[in-house]
Structure 1
Amino acid sequence: MELHNASASMNVAVGSYSDPVDLPGLAHFCEHMLFLGTEKYPAEDSYKRFLRENGGYGNAYTVMEDTNYYFWVAAGAFPEALDRFAQFFISPLFTQSATEREINAVDSEHHMNLQSDLQRAFRLHGSFASHDHPFSKFGPGNKTSLWDNPREKRISVRDELLRFYKNNYSSNLMSLVLVAPERLDSLEKLVRSNFADIENKSIPPRSEQYEGIPIFDARSMLVHIVPVKETRELLMRWVLPPFDYRFKTDQFIAHLIGHKGKGSLLSLLIARHWANELLVRTSVNLDHLSLFDVSIELSQEGENHYLEIVQLVYGYLNLIKTHGVNRNLWEECKIMAEVAFDYREKEDRTALGARLAETMRKYPAEHYLCGPLLHFEFDEDILVETLESLNASPLYVFLTSKRGEEECDSVEEWYGTSYSAKNLEEEQVEEWRRSSWDESLSIPRPNEFIPADLSVLEAPKPGTKSPELLRDDESYRIHHLMDSQFRLPKTNLMVIIESPCVYSSPRMFVLSSLFISMLNDSLKESTYDSRIAGLRHVITHATGGILLMFEGFSDRLEKLVSLVVERFALFKPDMGRFEVMRESLKEQYDNFYKEQPYQLAMYTLGYLLEHPRWHIDAYKQEISQISFPELEESIVRMRSELFVEMLAHGNIDAEGVDGMVSVFEQKLKFRPIRRAERLRQVISELQVSPEGSLYRTTASNPDESNSAVLVYFEFGPISPRNFHAACVAGVLAQMIREPCSNQLRTVEQLGYMVHSSMTKYNNVIGLQFIVQSPSSSPQTVNDRIEAFLRTFEESVLEPMPPEQFKKYVEGLRTFKSEKDGQLSILTGRIWTEILNDTFVYDRKQEEEKALEQVTHENVVDLFRRCLSRKAGERRKLSVHVHGNQHPVEGEPETTATLIADLDLFKSKLHLHPRIVSEDHIRAS
């Protein structure tokens, strides 16, 4: 992978498990504080501003036993970025003022997760742990745990921060990874010169402090959790010894239990209409123990039978003990792991660095890269011993469901989750352990999708970077690009099956959603082996049709395509699954309004701008009225008149593409639609107005404490090859991002979620600001965004020195100049051009060249025209989602035009013309 950027990651083997008892969340808070100034670089925004000026980004995360810091930046700025980064671990300031302010950011982050069922369940699981075990700790922390409670106990939080850092941040607990376009000896010099001053305090691994402490009570337990959303889950959990990575014992057992092919546990549960999905994994693997989970997504009917499902799981475990300790099955997993590793795509440099920095403390040097992925040794004794442990260990059952919530009279301390808990009778658990397996269950059969031919076709002529149009008629348009860059035995196939009726009305969209859901459901069993063998397919909606995506090893791809297309062409829905899938889709619609407020704001913006676009409220009205015969009839209609557009990209030649097209032609019979009938989306044109338009709504979840503000500024439409205008907007967005985050998040502490970015709806570009706040009203946040824009214009943008402006341009150029790191990323870029009818396949290269012509005056002019309050072309649209701390009351203090009816407002807007390119015609 050719690198123009460089990245670094430092992992510290200290996480929330090391929090003091009186200060839950201190490790996480310490992570936040390291970004806010060091002795060498004291300005709070110095580090992030430097990264942003040089086309980079940095962040961090804290988990149970680790804290990981990472960044990426233009390669030319890497030495200085590394120096700034190293100071985190040498001389952070932990100023009193930053300490008092950043507590609010941690608290905002906590508030953002308060209504997350995933976070609530994880915390509740921890509440059942022994108080002597760190799994019981409240790792994220909030203002109560990190400020209010300590102050009541006369604890100085800053003093404790300094003590925590001093007692835990030691070079012997740190792992550093650099990914950069430099020689190894040069990188070593950089490390020695920048990190040598980190003190080695010879601190023993923190896991030694809690080794041997039981995590849970030794008695089996049943816990009923009341969720926020309409969801039902059965989680079975066992505490087991830690797994040795060489044997992959847990992964092999998870593979058997979690298999979804014929004879699998999931197939049985689906046949009984009890479940929709199954996930088996080791959720926690610590130095001294692991948590092994079987998680089942229940249907409403399955909720009535959850204890029988527990029995079926134990029965399947007994089947594995009897027939599943099979070296041939393990060897199959080993082979596929090796093939996946040997032919994996290049990993994103930042993700690679962060992953390696964390795994370095867990694996020997020769296995840093492959240790988490490969199967090294088969040990039948360890496998049998693990299966016996599963059978003998206490069982912890967590049932997540709203049914019976009135009986859940206990409340978790930090998230307010309602629950009930009781011990399971040992006689009941023993009965489950002795369960025989259902006669329909079996061990997985040999996998017919494992690739046999991993050869790579002869590369096309050098310089072939644009797809060739192989066919363009009334039924098919076929694009082909043979890979010359990645040279992997893999192919990506993108297909849109355009059908005018799919999105012709809200009711038809719901019917097509049911069709897609049931089609995917019916393919689970027959395509699961292909997924294990490194193939993947996706069936989903696209504008005006249904999107099929295939990727994986070229040798078996046509076999998968044939299977999926045949099922698409011949699929007939099952009445029993219809009821289950309609119930599931209805719950998805109901749960939509329990998403984060900022997500609701983004959805509303998209709804107002895009035509055609139906609203989810219309889907909710239709879903309950749809009948099974209507679905049957609509599926026939959806497949009757079509147009197929395809992109084949990768290790495939024109003959191979012909084979793929033949599969469609043989199995899919349809009448071609006229091109004039093909659905294309267009974008609303906002009216010029200094204050713009404002839509206010209340979060439907009464327990939602966060409010969200989205402010969108439309810049206008650009032609497909107007690279200069796109680059001017990109540079402006790059310049605004870090000052916006620093001012609104770090200084003013409006909320944890503060985001600004360039937007592109089809050919219409713009800029959006998103802030989610638990403490400030939406109107206050809106006013602070406007104040920021005024200050930015006067104090940052207009007086910006030429050398600083040049850094922003060069940072964006560096990003544009870097080659796509993965085949799938390049496929996605090409496919987007095809779907948008723009066909500018060299867009990144053209924009890189266009950046040479972007001037400071261009950017100032764009700001003055479209963002300044006095701008003559200011088109602003705001969406305010009010949480329970700031209800919608009376008229807001604004002169913005209030939107009372979304549909009425939308109907009065003009539409931007859709601008397409004729490049594909010239290319053909």
Structure 2
Amino acid sequence: MSNSAIKRIAKEIIKSPEDKREYRGLELENGIKAILICDPTTDKSSAALDVHIGSLSDPPNIAGLSHFCEHMLFLGTKKYPKENEYSQFLSEHAGSSNAFTSGEHTNYYFDVSHEHLEGALDRFAQFFLCPLFDESCKEREVNAVDSEHEKNLMNDAWRLFQLEKATGNPNHPFSKFGTGNKFTLETRPTKEGIDVRQELLKFHSTYYSSNLMAICVLGRESLDELTSLVVKLFSEVENKNVPLPEFPEHPFQEEHLQQLYKVVPIKDIRNLYVTFPIPDLQKYYKSNPGHYLGHLIGHEGPGSLLSELKAKGWVNTLVGGQKEGARGFMFFIINVDLTEEGLLHVEDIILHMFQYIQKLRMEGPQEWVFQECKDLNAVAFRFKDKERPRGYTSKLGGILHYYPIEEVLAAEYLLEEFRPDLIEMVLDKLRPENVRVAIVSKSFEGKTDRTEEWYGTQYKQEAISDEKWQNADLNGKFKLPMKNEFIPTNFEILPLEKDAPQYPALIKDTAMSKLWFKQDDKFFLPKACLNFEFFSPFAYVDPLHCNMAYLYLELLKDSLNEYAYAAELAGLNYDLQNTIYGMYLSVKGYNDKQHILLKKIIEKMTTFEIDEKRFEIIKEAYMRSLNNFRAEQPHQHAMYYLRLLMTEVAWTKDELKEALDDVTLLRLKAFISQLLSRLHIEALLHGNITKQAALGIMQMVEDTLIEHAHTKPLLPSQLVRYREVQLPDRGWFVYQQRNEVHNNCGIEIYYQTDMQSTSENMFLELFCQIISEPCFNTLRTKEQLGYIVFSGPRRANGIQGLRFIIQSEKQPHYLESRVEAFLKTMEKCIEDMSEEAFQKHIQALAIRRLDKPKKLSAECAKYWGEIISQQYNFDRESDVGSRYSHQNRHRSAHQQPDVGTMPWLSQWQGPAQWLFWTPWAYHQSQGTLSKGFWSVASEPRLPTASASRPVPRGAEGIQSTALSPAQTPTLTVEQVVTDLEQQVEQEVPIYQQAQDDLVPHLHPHPLPQT
């Protein structure tokens, strides 16, 4: 197509000096805006299209239609009518896809091996040209949306978000129920004589207009080639000249202000939400007054609002800043996590908030504060890490609607104009007469009189008097932050040392420590990652010691907070957590002042004095977090119990809760001395540092521990790793556990295969690659077993296997039977697979394996995984990838894959060894869903009677399949000792998509900027 389809080309895109990619902006004649990215080094190409229409534009009588439309677009187009054509093409070429719907946006995105961008983009473009919205898919996908809503039903973040919307102006689009469910998309429309398919066609025809679309495409192709692709595929999208929806009236008018809401949560949490309506600040992005105020109100250093509230024992955390609404309105929020004492002093806490706001008014806007924010943002923009293609295109596609094309990369970073008038304008909105307050606590159970329609949230609404907080005077304890001493000034990239090794090298090996070192030779940014594992046999010896290790580190982080917050603002972060082997510490960011923060942490680790008040507060918060596990998703329970049952040593939540009563301040102090008395340190220092500097850092750590804690080395016999339970042949085990919160079931079926090795890993991953798309298409899309359907490897303690995870309203035995039937089908599919199809899977897997880390921290995490697993195969991806490629080149003589030659698949020909568990959610006597949980595990670990039997008929001939757990972002309170999500991340292989990558999803309200 000629360039007549292009209205404007933007060549001068503002980018970071360190960004080696080439950019071009386009505006097509039909109104589509595009940003094109040429990256000759990328392994994956990607594209995203954002439609500037979301749930706020749903018809009033069909809630969730925009979200439903998002789901349906994946299920066939006129050019590619096959229901799973798009997902199958991506799966065969190392790709993945997803989408999300928010109030104003519907965002679609994918990635694929760089050679197949055009094929993927062609299939993708049809979503916006000629979708089928096939009637046969409609009912099934309504069930998928309903299952998605059911998953969110007991999630406090979703419940509170909908309650916020429901308590504003009921006639404002903000009040709508955005997710939708079976009632809004099927039951009610049917009763009212509404044809939902026709409404879908109408919605797509009306709103999916090119003038409301923005595209981002990233590939190896030149900018001219990318331009031709976009013009060829998207210039025919029709421009219906749809006016951009705007919402100039705020959903919170005078009658919705000065209101107090007492809300009952699902989990035992105590939160205070203070909200002010403010105008849309988007057009002021060059000065960003909301960012300025969020920086000060949300500050955590000495003299801050948080510092004073913590000193009084009222709060644990505080978040302050602007929160997006929609085009026309925003919110400014101050949210705190309350202590038990804080719940009794809510009015005093809010008074302190207004006192701090009054302090800001009296001081007036400070140009030096703005300049510091400007400098920090400029450094972050200059040295920002390279993004993964799919996330990058999705983000840029969305923000193209808000900024000039030339500024789209820089607009959210670079501040240019100090505008005290705008700061004062926003400050003027933060007054008692404009406030809305929500208190969230279990203490309100039985004291409410209202119920939110869609989630059933119980709450009580009360008016706030006109006089409340009007006389907030100045508080002498509040001070503006000090100038940040952690802002880096030295950005020198150190020259590579002579004969620098390609992979981490062991440069120190003593009784006290092992030090691995790798100088960065890929990213060339002034950053480093410092990782330390402190091994101690006392950290996990029993539930009591596990609890004390957790509390010790939580109290340590709490005491470091005011000091480390300045470092965090300056791009220098640390993480400190207990593990089953001891303690893990990482310090990441700019290397200029990294050693200063590290030294402070190690010194504090050995010398800090525990504050008795904070001890009681953090202990109580920890107990609540253990209790709150009951409200996690059923599939998360599945992963948790499987780990307990398969790991040699693991403590349950109940065991931890029982032992927590025995933790006293005196006992904790004695434990800390014991914990630090004998250690072994294994470390990886990786980045813009020299070998000599790395040795110096390790020596500093050792010297500090020896000086203050008199630390001695562990004995070699104490450096042992836990083992995995071996499942016997023909073993089948069930573990039953109730789920008291959710109506959904969760099932995990685990087939244990063998110890990890390069060859075994390859076969397992190849099988996962082959079944991944058919599993999702069969069990999720066609059979509608549930919103969460996942398959992939499970790896732990050197042992691996395959697993399936499903969360569903259906009976667990039925889910089991469908998985077995699917495996039987896959056995036949693999036997009949053509050589061409087999080669596609090998190529896709090789591409995934050879996909290089995009930033230093990702590469470091890969190396660190090899170190903590004690496998030390730093070249694993290249080794496995080349083996796949080698196998691909040498299989051409065969007409079809010889399944019998695959050790694990051949082993499946006979009886399988497997583990199966699920929440039992069907009440036989009543025939209705009730709350329960049923699971399966290995006999040596069973706390109750187990059963063993031959493999069910449905699994004959196939001995293994399994799933990787899902990683769904949730808003939760304190993390428990064993952080489930982090463990999942370690288990999921680099090529495997997480749940978020497999299913469309609806985003909750964005978090505030701080």
Q: TM-score, normalised by structure 2?
A: 0.86
Q: Does 1:516 align with 2:553?
A: yes
Partners of 2:147 and 2:198 in 1: how far apart? 23
Equivalent AA in structure 1 for residue 118 of structure 2: P
1:39 equivalent to 2:78? Answer yes
Letter paired with 2:865: T
- Larger mean CA deviation between 813-822 and 14-23 belongs to 813-822
1:895-910 aligned at under 5 Å gives the runs 902-903=942-943
Structure 1 residue aligned with 2:514 = 477
Give the Cα–Cα distance (whole angstroms) in 2 for the partners of residues 877 and 54 of structure 1: 32
In structure 2, relative to structure 1, the CA distance for the partners of 1:314 and 1:609 (3 Å cut) is: same
Structure 1 residue 393: deviation in Å? 5.5
CA 1:859–1:256: 2 relative to 1, 3 Å = farther
Q: Secondary structure at the match of 1:479?
A: strand
333, 340, 352: which one aligns with 1:312:
352
Matched, 1:715 2:748: no
Report if aligned partners of 1:14, 1:65 keep a CA contact under 8 Å in 2. Answer: yes
1:619-646 CA-partner distances (Å, limit 9, x unpaired): 0111123211111111111111111111
Match of residue 523 from structure 2? 486
Pick aligned residue for 1:684 from 703, 718, 725 = 725
Matched, 1:876 2:914: yes
Return the match for 2:410 from 340, 354, 370. 370
Is 1:826 the counterpart of 2:859? The answer is yes
| 3-state SS of paired residue (2:725) | strand
Amino acid in structure 2 at the alignment position of 1:111: E
Q: Is the 8 A contact 2:591 2:689 kept in 1?
A: yes
Q: 1:327 to 1:906 in 2, by over 3 A?
A: farther
Aligned length: 891
Residue number in structure 2 paired with 1:835: 868
Matches within 5 A, 1:243-642: 243=281, 244-323=284-363, 325-391=365-431, 394-428=434-468, 432-461=469-498, 464-642=501-679
The one-letter code of the counterpart of 1:437 is L
| 5+ residue gaps, structure 1 | 909-924
| 1:852 partner letter | S
Residue of structure 2 in register with 1:798 after alignment: 831
Aligned to 2:28: none
Pair 1:751-2:786 in alignment:
yes
Relative to structure 1, is the Cα distance of residues 62 and 300 closer, same or farther in structure 2, using a 3 angstrom cutoff?
same
Instruction: Identify the residue that residue 181 of structure 2 maps to in structure 1.
Output: 142
Corresponding position: 1:655 with 2:689: no
Where in structure 2 are the equivalents of 1:159-238 lying within 5 Å? 159-207=198-246, 210-212=247-249, 214-216=251-253, 217-238=255-276
Deviation at 1:660, TM superposition (A): 1.2
Whether 2:45 is the aligned partner of 1:6: answer yes
Alignment of 1:836-851 (within 5 A): 836-851=869-884
- How many angstroms apart in 2 are the aligned matches of 1:510 and 1:888? 41
Kindly indicate whether the alpha-carbon contact (under 8 Å) linking 1:239 and 1:393 is maintained by their aligned counterparts in 2: no
1:388 CA displacement: 1.1
2: CA distance, partners of 1:357 / 1:731: 33
Q: Distance in 2 between matches of 1:532 and 1:166?
A: 46
> In 2, distance between residues paired with 1:820 and 1:75?
15
1:814 aligns with one of 847, 853, 865: 847
Task: Mark the CA change 1:663 to 1:858 in structure 2 (over 3 Å): closer, same or farther.
Answer: farther
1:781 counterpart = 2:781: no
Q: Deviations over 1:869-918 (max 9, x none)?
A: x524x21101111347679999x9x999997973478999xxxxxxxxxx
Secondary structure at the aligned position of 2:917 is classed as strand
Q: Is the 2:525–2:688 contact (alpha carbons within 8 Å) kept by the matching residues of 1?
A: yes
**Match in the other structure for 1:919:** none
Q: Which ranges in structure 2 are unaligned for 5 or more consecutive residues?
A: 1-38, 949-1010
Shift, 1:862, TM fit: 4.4
Contact 1:449 1:529 in 2 (8 A): yes
**1:78 partner letter:** L
Equivalents in 2 of 1:866, 1:283: separation in Å? 55
Matched, 1:64 2:103: yes
Give the deviation of 1:724 after TM superposition. Answer: 2.5
Within 2, Cα distance between the matches of 1:875 and 1:544?
29
Conserved 8 A contact 1:237-1:395: yes
Residue 765 (structure 2) aligns with = 730
Q: Is the 8 A contact 1:723 1:850 kept in 2?
A: no
* 1:688 maps to amino acid: D
Structure 1 residues 858 and 321 mapped into 2: Cα distance closer, same or farther (>3 Å)?
Answer: farther
Q: Tell me, in whole angstroms, the C-alpha distance in 1 between the residues paired with 2:227 and 2:362.
A: 53
Alpha-carbon offset, residue 665 of structure 1: 2.6
Q: Give the CA deviation at 1:391.
A: 2.2
Distance 1:266 1:888, change over 3 A: farther
Whether the aligned pair in 2 keeps the contact of 1:7 and 1:70 (CA below 8 Å) is: yes
The whole-number CA distance in structure 2 between the counterparts of 1:109 and 1:772 is 10
1:19–1:632 Cα change, 3 Å? same
- SS state at 2:461 partner: strand
Q: Which amino acid is 1:583 matched to?
A: E
Give distance in 2, aligned partners of 1:62 and 1:355: 13
Asked if the contact 2:915–2:938 (Cα under 8 Å) also holds between the matched residues in 1, the reply is no
Query: What percentage of residue pairs aligned between the two structures are identical?
Result: 33
**2:603 is aligned with what amino acid?**
E
**TM-score, scaled to structure 1:** 0.94
- Alpha-carbon contact 1:234-1:398 (below 8 Å) kept: yes
The answer as to whether partners of 1:729 and 1:862 remain within 8 angstroms in 2 is no
Alignment of 1:107 onto 2:141? no
Hey, what's the Cα distance between the residues in 2 that align with 1:681 and 1:465? 31
2: distance between equivalents of 1:589 and 1:676?
A: 33
Distance in 1 between residues matched to 2:936 and 2:555, nearest whole Å:
45
Post-superposition offset of 1:698: 1.8
- 3-state SS of 1:685 partner: coil
Instruction: Say if 1:573 and 1:371 are closer, same or farther in 2 by CA, change over 3 A.
Output: same
The one of 76, 83, 86 equivalent to 2:122 is 83
Correspondence for 1:916: none
C-alpha contact (below 8 Å) 1:695/1:899 kept by paired residues:
no
Greater Cα offset, 604-613 or 548-557 = 604-613
- Match of 2:100, SS state, is strand
Q: Distance in 1 between matches of 2:784 and 2:900?
A: 28
State the Cα distance separating 1:170 from its structure 2 match.
Answer: 0.5
Measured against aligned partners, the alpha-carbon deviations of 1:431-462 in whole angstroms (never above 9, x if no partner) come to x2431232221110011111111111012357
Q: Is the 8 A contact 2:833 2:897 kept in 1?
A: no
1:424 Cα offset (Å): 1.0
The 8 Å contact of residues 882 and 888 in structure 1, kept in 2 or not, is answered as: no
> Against the structure 1 CA distance between its residues 173 and 478, is the aligned structure 2 distance closer, same or farther, given a 3 Å change threshold?
same
Distance 1:588 1:896 in 2: 25
Q: Of 125, 130, 133, which residue of structure 1 is paired with 2:169?
A: 130
